[in-house]
Amino acid sequence: MSDVVIKVEGASKKYCRTIKHTMLYGATDLTRSFFGLNHHGEELRNGEFWAVSNVSFQLKRGQCLGIIGPNGSGKSTILKMLNGIFMPDKGRIEINGRVGALIEVGAGFHPLLTGRENIYVNGSILGMMKSEIDKKFNEIVEFAGIGNFIDSPVKHYSSGMHVRLGFAIAVHCDPDILLVDEVLAVGDANFRNKCFKKFLEFKSAGTSVIMVTHDMEPIVRYCDQAILLQHGIATLTGKPSEITSQYVSTIRPRNNKEHPPDEDKKTVISSFEIFESGDKKTMLEEFIQQVPLKDSCVLRKNYNSKEHSWGDKRGEIVDFLLLSNDFYYPETVNSNDWIDIYMKVKFNEAVEYPVYGLKLRTIDGLVIYATKSTFKNVIIRPTKKSEIVVLKFSLKLSVAAGEYFISLAIADGQFGTEDIPLDRRYDLIHLNVQNVDLFDGMVDLECYIKECS
């Protein structure tokens, strides 16, 4: 059996710009097909345009493909052709295996039927036998988290409940290929983490996934390859980190101010004020003053070799220092201890509005805490080309015992509403936390109990 489950060769799909042309050409094409005549599918007629044009790619068993691009670039159209909703007007699409698709929120659901009834209807549409649905019914309900609402009409469901139920059905039909279109944006953090964990299970079991999303993080984290679509054309194909970086750099124009030539020739060291003493101060000063010739993060004890990064690299995270209770790069820290994380950034270009960020998550992907300098109203000065800046994050680890990853990031915030990633290093630092005070849950809220009578 071939490892290729999807083969797309020069696929193109055209649409009409107006309802008038849609009805006219639809009637004409049906008539010509009835009499066995060519309906000119490969030619554009007045009022038509190519929504997808000459797209080719292959997907192997167990791989995950991310498709990104601006709105109207043809991403959803490609998924609908892969799912058989549309046929390509030009080119060829070959599918080998059962397809599970979640392309539109609540697609295939009847609003007057209950969640229970829609599980059987939607499961049948996806090719499941009634006996198969009976066997997996409880798993579907549990995954969706619908609970007591399973016997309520789905017209009363929220958009999040629609997504959870639709996704639960799709992933339990044991697809060889799963198509997902942006719907996870509606789900909450716990459901998203559950879905991405399912993606990893699929990949290990040989299921292939095609994901369309505007969120670059899952593309970089879970996909083996990525395609950038622009105006229906696949302009770039390759490694997810490279494709997402290229895409992000085109969303907003760069601030290309010219700087005096002498600024390009010198390296400047700067940092926040750090009040320390003794050997502690000496080590910090050495960390701050040292000019790295290459990435030094990989040399640190807490470095996670499975980290991944992306960004346009106008600024690069080149080193970090971890400090807790006078220990540098501790293998284990206690819950409720304070830790200091120093991040060293080298700027390859001047950045007028740098933004610095940090994220703490469990090894299962649940984000415990995330912040950035703009959230804290910290005013960060502009940086120059070749300058090296050291940032300090201080945080109290009021979390349960376990393993955690810390991600560090630097971005360009010149447009305010959307940061442009310069360097995001996901899961850069590995940290073990052990409990001192007993509690259940993820975080310690430092509850005090007192008898008042």
Is the pLDDT higher at 35 or at 134? 134
Q: What is the pLDDT of residue 275?
A: 37
pLDDT for 276: 42
- Of the candidates 348, 420, 440, the residue with the CA atom closest to the CA atom of residue 389: 348
pLDDT-derived band at 260, boundaries 50, 70, 90: very low
Predicted confidence band of residue 197 (pLDDT cuts 50, 70, 90): confident
Q: Residue for token digits 């006219």?
A: 24
The pLDDT, as a whole number, for residue 271 is 40
pLDDT at 254 over 50: no
Q: Label residue 436 exposed, middle or buried (CB < 10 Å: 0-12, 13-18, 19+).
A: exposed
To the nearest whole percent, how much of the chain has pLDDT over 70? 86
Report the pLDDT value the prediction gives residue 83, as an integer from 0 to 100. 85
Q: Could you give the CA distance from residue 345 to residue 322 in angstroms, rounded to a whole number?
A: 15
Rounded to the nearest 5 percent, the helix, strand and coil shares of the chain are: 30, 35, 40
Each residue's pLDDT tens digit, 99-112: 877 776 555 688 88
**Quick one: pLDDT band at residue 189, thresholds 50, 70, 90?**
low
- Looking at residue 356, its pLDDT comes to 94
Amino acid at 405: F
Q: In order of start, what are the domains of the chain with their CATH numbers?
A: 4-17+46-251 (3.40.50.300), 261-434 (2.70.50.60)
Q: Extract the tokens encoding 145.
A: 């988290």
Query: If we measure between CA atoms, which residue out of 136, 202, 80, 203 comes closest to residue 122?
Result: 136
At residue 40 the predicted structure's pLDDT band, cuts being 50, 70 and 90, is low
pLDDT of residue 8: 93
- The residue with greater pLDDT, 198 or 77, is 77
For the chain, what is the mean pLDDT?
Answer: 82
Q: What is the reported pLDDT for 265? A: 40
Strand partners, 57: 8
Pairing of strands 327-328, 354-362: unpaired
pLDDT of residue 107: 59
Higher-confidence position of 364 and 85 = 85
317 pLDDT more than 90 = yes
Output DSSP code: residue 43: S
Q: With 60 as the cut, is the pLDDT of residue 1 above it?
A: no
Q: Which helix (H) or strand (E) holds 225?
A: strand 225-230
Would you state the pLDDT for residue 384? 92
For Cα atoms 340, 342, 347, give the angle at the middle one, nearest 5 degrees: 160
Summarize the confidence of residues 392-397 as an average pLDDT.
92
Q: Which of 150-164, 209-223, 392-406 has the highest mean pLDDT?
A: 392-406
Q: What is the pLDDT of residue 262?
A: 42
Q: What is the pLDDT of residue 266?
A: 44
Return the amino acid letter for 407: S
What mean pLDDT comes out for the span 267-280?
Answer: 43
